[in-house]
Amino acid sequence: MPTQKKSPPKHIAIIMDGNGRWAKSRGLQRWEGHQAGAESVKAVTEGCIEAKVEYLTLYAFSNENWNRPKDEVDALMKLLERFLKKKSKELKENNIRLQAIGNLQDLSPGALKALEKTIEETQDNTALTLILALSYGAREEIVHGVKGVLSDINDGKLDPSKIDTEKFSEYLYTARTPDPDLLIRTSGEKRLSNFLLWQISYAELFISDKLWPDFSKEDLLEAIEDFSDRERRYGEV
């Protein structure tokens, strides 16, 4: 009897955790850990393309990260700007489309400009959609969605009786993106950290003990293999 080919996840979301600890363990500055982590982004995008994953969402900067020391936040914004300028050509060459979710207007002017430029330049690419969650928080996203629903009801654009989970999803940042099938978190932590709380309701979880800068393409492919061996029941028997 022929073996049935395993299906990869259509959408992978990753909480990239451990940059600071990676740097501290090596006697480096925290920003150097973030810089090293940027190389892991390249590795996992290559892995996703190889595995035929269609969407990859990376938790790059949370709403809570604004509370970090100003010098670290400034370094992160400069790193994001440099990353986008440096990787824009590479994204185009690898047929990767860039998108972003979150309170993007909070980003530094330079980072926002580089982000918008790269999104525009890669909008027709088809091999992989890479989504950066920037200045993002899931609770804030849900509140944003509720306000959108209330606004449309008040304007007569939405019948309250028509609201269900599918309709509400249209008011979230991820309205045109399928929900993640697999959520990966690095550094061994076992919490969701206010990331895609609505969208990961039925996602499979994979916890890696590796710090993000040490997370390789092979680690990603291992997580995908683990996912493919699971039976997803969605609450059924």
**Looking up tokens 């978190």, which residue turns up?**
185
Span 80-96, pLDDT tens digits: 999 999 888 999 999 99
Residues with a catalytic annotation lie at: 17, 65
Instruction: Round to whole Å and give the CA distance between 117 and 122.
Output: 9
Q: Yes or no: say if 61 and 51 are a contact pair by the CB < 8 Å rule.
A: no
**Looking up tokens 């986008």, which residue turns up?**
84
C-alpha neighbours within 13 Å on the C-beta side of residue 157 = 7
Homologous superfamily, domain 13-228? Decaprenyl diphosphate synthase-like (3.40.1180.10)
Q: What is the pLDDT of residue 236?
A: 61
Pair of tokens at residue 105:
């207007």
Q: What is the pLDDT of residue 4?
A: 46
Global pTM reads 0.93
Question: What is the 8-class DSSP label of residue 142?
Answer: H
Instruction: Round to whole Å and give the CA distance between 133 and 60.
Output: 6
Instruction: Round to whole Å and give the CA distance between 114 and 26.
Output: 31
Query: What average pLDDT does the structure give for the chain?
Result: 94
124-145: average pLDDT: 98
Per domain, the residue ranges of the chain are 13-228
